[in-house]
Homo-oligomer: A and B are copies of this chain.
Amino acid sequence: MERAQTSEALLRARLEPARILLDADDIDVGALNSTLAMLDGAEISHLLETIPAAQRIEIWTRIDDGLAAEVLDELPDLIASDLVHKTPDERLGRIGSAMNIEQMSDAFELFPDDIQESLVAGLSQEERKRFESAIAYSEDSVGRVMRSDMLVSLESATVNDALEDIRKRPSFPEQTDQLFVTDAHGALIGVVRVNDLLVAMPDTPIAALTDRDPPRLRARETLEDAAALFERDDLVCAPVINRDGRLVGRMAVEEVVDSLREMSEENAFFREGLRSDEDLFGRVWESARRRWLWLSLNLLTAFVASRVIGLFEENIQALVVLATLMPIVASIAGNTGNQTVALVIRGLAMGGITRSNLAYLAAKELSIALINGLIWGGVMGAALVGIYGDVGLGFVMAAAITLNLGVAALVGVVIPLSMDAMGRDPALGSSVVLTFITDSMGFFIFLGLGAVFLVQA
């Protein structure tokens, strides 16, 4: 009962009627329309993400253009682009016109060329300037997500002037706890907290309330860096300036929350070689094809690792128990190495790995690997002596586990660091490369030791 009141359960309950209507053999159009009329853009976007691709068009064609503009802005690119492809040009034009500049610059690349042209042609000169500067910044930069709705005042104004300006606005911008103060040329001087405005006397000069060294962002900064600043200084919003120090927009905590959520999902997905916008309910054939690159890469590395085993076929024939036990050495090192990779990736993300502590880190991970290799390799070796009554086999197993855990620790530190140094995201691919090395080395070390000490002895 308690659980039924939480906001997630509420959202689920709000969307359930639409799901049930869609699953019926005959869709009750009237009921579906009135169900949809009660949902907002974020809710419809959530609904679209969680129904099979074939049902999405049923919803999409039933919502009005303004709502469709919002929905398109919220949807992952993959689903949005699929819906855009199925929408007549005429409607796309209307949807595009219903978007604000931020939504339009986000969704712009989804539209066909001629619609893009007509959308740009429909902008006022001022809007076109904002639009062009938004799409000039790279995808994950502050400039791309920044907003233009903000409170601005000249340094020479009074509190009363600022309040007059605010009263004249059609609405107060969301997630705003600061008024930005500029000089006559638009250069950012500082900020005044809305709280201070609230309790100040009307004739107080704005200059007297201005904090001249507030946290600020540059338009070219990455969203990741911006999120770190918001997190550290507990910001609600922050001014964005360009190279010349001119105020060009603002970023609000909403964008930080969204980008943190995306980063968190991307990381889990990246590790498995999935695109961040992979569609859980997408079409079978498209999803199957989207996994080919990863599959073929995995197949190739597994095949190469198996060639290492091929080198020892004669030894395996002589002592077949080697084939039985070799996957243990490979598997345990793969798992342990992936722990090191996860630690190093977090260290990199926190900016916590520097030249001065790198040697300590590598030495620490190697020591842990050798200690645990001796202990748990020893346990496994002892178990084999018990089962097979072969002391040599026990020693070979213990030694192979210890050595391969050492390999895993070093490789687990080196791979993500090298990928980061090459400017690539270490979350993507570190794990494949590591597993390839721990598999190949595991087979090589164990079969090699077995060949030398067991087969030829």
Q: Measuring CB to CB, which residues of chain A are less than 8 angstroms from any residue of chain B?
A: 2, 5-8, 11-12, 16, 19-20, 23, 42, 46, 49-52, 163, 166-167, 172, 174-177, 193-199, 215, 217-218, 220-222, 224-232, 234, 236, 252-254, 256-258, 260-261, 263-265, 267-269, 271-274, 278, 280-281, 284-285, 287-288, 291-292, 294-296, 298-299, 301-303, 305-306, 309-310, 313, 316-317, 320-321, 323-325, 327-328, 330-332, 335-336, 338-339, 341-347, 350-354, 356-357, 360-361, 364, 367-368, 371-372, 375-376, 379-380, 383, 427, 432, 435, 439, 443
Q: Are A321 and B313 in contact (CB under 8 A)?
A: yes
Q: How far is the CA of A229 from the CA of B49 in the complex (A)?
A: 18
Q: How many copies does the complex hold?
A: 2
A427 to chain B, nearest CB (A): 8
Which residues of B sit under 8 angstroms from A220, Cβ to Cβ? 2
Q: How far is the CA of A317 from the CA of B12 in the complex (A)?
A: 57
Which residues of B sit under 8 angstroms from A310, Cβ to Cβ? 321, 324
Q: Are B288 and A198 in contact (CB under 8 A)?
A: no
Q: Are A327 and B327 in contact (CB under 8 A)?
A: yes
* In-complex Cβ contact of A368 among B257, B284, B316 (8 A): B284
Q: How far is the CA of A225 from the CA of B52 in the complex (A)?
A: 25
Q: Are A361 and B328 in contact (CB under 8 A)?
A: no
Which residues of B sit under 8 angstroms from A6, Cβ to Cβ? 218, 221-222, 225
Q: How far is the CA of A234 from the CA of B255 in the complex (A)?
A: 9
A241 to chain B, nearest CB (A): 11
Which 5 A-B pairs give the minimum distances between C-beta atoms? A264-B264, A50-B352, A323-B323, A172-B195, A7-B229
* In-complex Cβ contact of A195 among B194, B265, B278, B296 (8 A): B194
The answer to whether A176 and B195 touch (CB under 8 A), given A320-B317, A327-B305, is yes
Q: Are A351 and B306 in contact (CB under 8 A)?
A: no
Residue of B nearest to A47 (CB): B352
A363 to chain B, nearest CB (A): 9
A257 to chain B, nearest CB (A): 5
Q: Are B7 and A291 in contact (CB under 8 A)?
A: no
